[in-house]
Chains A and B, each alone.
Chain A
Amino acid sequence: SQTIHQWPATLVQPVGSPLSLECTVEGTSNPNLYWYRQAAGRGLQLLFYSVGIGQISSEVPQNLSASRPQDRQFILSSKKLLLSDSGFYLCAWSVEGVRSYNSPLHFGNGTRLTVT
């Protein structure tokens, strides 16, 4: 069966510090991968998605970047965190390619980031 792992679960970072959040998926090949952000009490905002190694699409302009160095690894980064980067970050995967339309997203348990 497929599993998705995110770490760390919680993170407190000062303004201006770098960020690296990691997500890995097991049990599937060439998944589509996604990063979402959820502000407190709010809905889910898509930040990035990837359909393959090195292929990243950004949905919103921001202080963050994403990379996919391996098939089942997705990393969310920032060089200098802002207060507004605080939130709950969720990684998700879905099946690949043309089979992906009309198929669900599967979420990890998220990383709660607090920028102080």
Chain B
Amino acid sequence: GENVEQHPSTLSVQEGDSAVIKCTYSDSASNYFPWYKQELGKGPQLIIDIRSNVGEKKDQRIAVTLNKTAKHFSLHITETQPEDSAVYFCAAPVPPNAGNMLTFGGGTRLMVKP
């Protein structure tokens, strides 16, 4: 099955700086990589995803890069703001079966200091 490792587990940055979170995966057949943001007391919300036919995808201050050869993908947040503070999860799909299951990384607690 798929194994997803996420680093770092905590990340503290100054407002305005950039933040980078990295994930590695084990199944070379995986080709879909979503990122979720979880605010305190809420469920995770999808913020961006990438499919393996592209190497990078950007949405305003958020970007995701994918290196299929090395089997890793990263989330980049530029010009961080206090409202970016949350726990971020990366994920990769379990090989196709009866359900669309995702394996999640262990999460990164991002703290943006004003």
Taking the closest CB of chain A, its distance from the CB of B97, in whole angstroms, is 9
Query: With the chains together, A44 CA to B49 CA distance in Å?
Result: 18
- A57 near B99: Cβ-Cβ < 8 Å: yes
Q: Is A104 an interface residue (CB 8 A)?
A: yes
Which B residues are within 8 Å of any A CB, using their own CB? 31-32, 34, 36, 41-46, 49, 51, 89, 91, 93, 96, 98-102, 104-107
Can you list 30 A-B pairs with a CB-CB distance of less than 8 A? A6-B43, A32-B100, A42-B106, A43-B105, A43-B106, A43-B107, A44-B89, A49-B99, A50-B99, A51-B98, A55-B98, A90-B43, A94-B99, A94-B100, A95-B100, A100-B99, A101-B32, A102-B51, A103-B100, A104-B34, A104-B49, A105-B34, A105-B100, A106-B46, A107-B43, A107-B44, A109-B41, A110-B41, A110-B42, A110-B43
